[in-house]
Amino acid sequence: MNAAAFNLLGLRLRLLLARIGWGAGLAALLCLIGAIVLLWLVPHLRAQGAVQQIELARAQAALLVAATKPAAEPLSLVDQRLEKFYEVLGERRYAEQQIKTLFAVAAKTGLNLSQGEYKAGFDKNSDTHTYQILLPVKGAYPAIRQFCEKTLMVIPFASLDEMNFKREAIGSDVLDAKLRFTLYLAGGPAAQEMAKVQR
């Protein structure tokens, strides 16, 4: 269309509006826009409704399957305790770092650990690796006690299995003690299976 055709169309629209009035022309324009929107909107809404119906049917089917599927049995008290036991275990590869932790706790409590005996093992009953540590300690009773308490707090998978005290003289405040700790470490087949179940 060229400029003359647009001018002619504009003139005809103005004459038509002059005949029917501006109010009726505006109403006719709004009706035309409404019809166009309606022609576009109705198929769009129908398509959305169909999609929602499909999603609703899928959700109902999933709920029906979930309702018919037997619920997983809750763990027995024994299994719950066993699971918690394996959660607390240390990692076998970090056993040497736990020895450093022992020495650090001893230094904080004023004890000097110069040597120790170490023995690795495997406990079939608990299906865990063990790391036994025999430490000769010399010091005052409160310091030895504090060392034992802090060690068990810092290393929750350790146990204090044995304590032997000996005093050189009756009036002496210094004790010679032998402390046996055991570190319980994960790594056995049952522990690995429990870890897989937890994931």
**For 146-156, how does the pLDDT look when each residue is reduced to its tens digit (9 = 90+)?**
999 999 999 98
- The tens digit of pLDDT for each residue in 94-114 reads 888 888 898 999 999 999 887
Spatial neighbors of 191 by CB under 8 A, at least 6 apart, are: 86, 89, 127, 128
* β-bridge pairing 128-140 and 174-186: antiparallel
Please tell me the pTM assigned to this model: 0.55
Q: Go through the domains of the chain in sequence order and give each one's CATH number.
A: 3-64 (no CATH), 78-193 (3.30.70.60)
Phi-psi category of residue 21: left, alpha or beta, with phi > 0 → left and psi -120 to 50 → alpha: left
